[in-house]
Amino acid sequence: MQDGYGGGGGLLRNRGCGRLLIALVIAGAGLIAYMSRTEVNPVTGEKQHVALSVDQEKVLGLEAAPEMAQKMGGDVDPSDPSARLVAEVGGRVVSRSNASTSPYAGNFRFHLLADPETVNAFALPGGQVFVTRGLVERLRTEAELAGVLGHEVGHVINRHSAEQMAKGQLGQVLSQAVGVAASDGSDGGQHAALIAAMVNQMVQLRYSRADESESDRYGIDAMASAGYDPKAMLEVMEILKQAGGGQNPPEWLSSHPLPETRIQEIREYLRQRSASDAGLSEGRSLR
């Protein structure tokens, strides 16, 4: 009996070591794949880990655009005055900022979505930019619209979607590795994998918040280059706070830094560049 008991313990230890080795191989392969997906951003010069090439971003964005639009009422007819305004202001932001020299320059399209209730704006990889009627109808000036669209252009230029996809793929691999290492034939491994997945989501949220702050700064620079007073970005934040009503935040803020945090960061960035913003305009009134 003693000999049998000791042999069983050794077998369990061997299995545990085997699972750990497999987990390390999985994690190592995931890290190598992530680190090897490196490109220099053609606009910012930043070295980034991305999951897609520029051409793949463009194709993915174009293919996903119709389905994404349908989730929020579909595209408003391009002849609609508000849709024309969105396209005009977006085009101006692109043409007068460094987005015009990017590989996405000819691929930018600005869509007004029909949903009157949802307060949201978003960009797909490659240059498809969307804003809902529910958000546009809350804006008061052309400069505020330029701030929203400039922020979304910032996501495209900074390749945030491609970065997040690469991080997400790495997170999935690492979560799988944790599950393998912790598995003992019961549900303990599944529980550990669930915890690892939750941690991965938290990491993704942190990076997402950094991306949003980066896009706020890009939007300020882009709208100023287009002749719009960047202080209007503060008004956008106030409008979004009001839209939340102290309850659930608008979709545009759901994964973003809190409005108070963004307002503080925006004010600080505006102070840094205040001398160059004299004489810029709020543009036409939207009300």
User: What are the sequence ranges of the domains in the chain?
Assistant: 48-175+204-277
- What pLDDT is attached to residue 205? 43
The pLDDT-based confidence of 49 (bands split at 50, 70, 90) is confident
Pairwise pLDDT comparison (112 vs 39), residue with the higher score: 112
Please name the residue that has the structure tokens 């007068």.
96
Between these two residues, 163 and 177, which has the higher pLDDT value?
163
Residue 79 class from Cβ within 10 Å (0-12 exposed, 13-18 middle, 19+ buried)?
exposed
Residue 77 has pLDDT above 80, yes or no: yes
Percent of the chain whose pLDDT exceeds 70: 67
Q: What is the mean pLDDT of the chain?
A: 79
In the block, which residue shows the tokens 């080795």? 21
Q: What pLDDT was estimated at residue 265?
A: 92
Q: What is the pLDDT of residue 211?
A: 87
Check pLDDT > 90 for residue 166: no
- pLDDT above 80: residue 172: no
* pLDDT for the residue 259: 66
Q: At what angle do helices 160-182 and 142-157 cross, to 10 degrees?
A: 50
R_g over Cα of the chain: 23
Q: pLDDT for 183-222, tens place per residue?
A: 555 554 444 554 454 445 444 444 367 888 999 999 999 9
Neighbours of 76 (CB within 10 A): 21
pLDDT tier at 147, thresholds 50, 70, 90 = very high
Reported as a single tens digit per residue, the pLDDT across 213-254 is: 999 999 999 999 999 999 999 999 888 888 876 555 565 555
Predicted structure pTM score: 0.76
C-alpha span between 73 and 30 (Å, rounded): 39
